[in-house]
Chains A and B, each alone.
Chain A
Amino acid sequence: GQQVMQIPQYQHVQEGEDFTTYCNSSTTLSNIQWYKQRPGGHPVFLIQLVKSGEVKKQKRLTFQFGEAKKNSSLHITATQTTDVGTYFCAGPSDRIFGNEKLTFGTGTRLTIIP
């Protein structure tokens, strides 16, 4: 079945440094989504990418979808303490009845050193 891997598993950065997490799928994805989970919280949707090579920005966050639609990245510029949490990518595993079931990556846990 489809596998979605993320690297790194953990990342510790000084406040103000940049952060990047990478997501790789074993199969081509029709779309990819990113979620953030704060410590003790639940995953919250950030964004969805659909087109090959697509780049989207949300303030200090930049999301990219690879040309082959098998990989994606999330880059945070000048991290802040509010960025602490685990970032997950998610992609559809199957298309059944026209829908997708979401397969989540293993996540990257970001901690910030003040």
Chain B
Amino acid sequence: NAGVTQTPKFRVLKTGQSMTLLCAQDMNHEYMYWYRQDPGMGLRLIHYSVGEGTTAKGEVPDGYNVSRLKKQNFLLGLESAAPSQTSVYFCASSYLVQGGGTEAFFGQGTRLTVV
């Protein structure tokens, strides 16, 4: 099993450009998440999805859009990139475990630089 795969791994954008980050999971998980990680800020939730065709906003959704047209894929879009969106982006997927908790599996990350 590949687990959670993110593409691309690295990208440099110019301010105002758009791009889409792809996350794919092969574990049949219902839940998928996009986080960004900045130094000293931990992992901050951008958007998440509890199932195919559903998405919801996280803590820092502004400037991003998402889509979950297929259960295995979760796409993160930047319509007009800004330098403040320079970050490492992580996708994660999860399922319910006994007791109600959720173990999350992470992709390898995408390092995005906006110049």
Give me the interface of A with B, judged by CB distance under 8 Å: 1, 6, 9, 30-31, 33, 35, 41-45, 48, 50, 88, 90, 92-93, 96-107
In angstroms, Cα B104 to Cα A43, docked, is 9
8 Å CB contact of A90 from B30, B104, B108: B104
Chain B positions 89 through 115: 1 when the CB is less than 8 Å from some CB of chain A, otherwise 0:
010101011011111111111000000
Q: Are B107 and A50 in contact (CB under 8 A)?
A: no
Cβ of B69 under 8 Å from chain A? no
Q: Contacts A35-B104, A42-B106 known; list 6 others, CB within 8 Å.
A: A30-B101, A42-B108, A50-B99, A50-B100, A104-B42, A107-B43
8 Å CB contact of A102 from B99, B100, B102, B108: B102
Given A42-B109, A106-B41, A99 contacting B104 (CB threshold 8 A): no
Q: Which residue of B lies closest to A102 (CB)?
A: B104
Q: Are B42 and A45 in contact (CB under 8 A)?
A: no
Q: Are B59 and A48 in contact (CB under 8 A)?
A: no
6 smallest beta-carbon distances between A and B, as pairs = A31-B101, A104-B43, A106-B42, A50-B99, A42-B106, A48-B101
Given A99-B30, A99-B96, A101-B45, A106 contacting B40 (CB threshold 8 A): yes
Q: Are B50 and A99 in contact (CB under 8 A)?
A: yes
Give me the interface of B with A, judged by CB distance under 8 Å: 30-31, 33, 35, 40-45, 48, 50-51, 56, 58-59, 90, 92, 94, 96-97, 99-109
Q: Which residue of B lies closest to A93 (CB)?
A: B45
Interface of A is mostly: strand
Q: Are B33 and A102 in contact (CB under 8 A)?
A: yes
| Residues on A with beta carbons closer than 8 Å to the beta carbon of B43 | 43, 88, 90, 104, 107
| Residues on A with beta carbons closer than 8 Å to the beta carbon of B107 | 42
8 Å CB contact of A33 from B51, B103, B106: B103
Q: Which residue of A lies closest to B44 (CB)?
A: A104
| Residues on B with beta carbons closer than 8 Å to the beta carbon of A1 | 59
| Residues on B with beta carbons closer than 8 Å to the beta carbon of A97 | 50-51
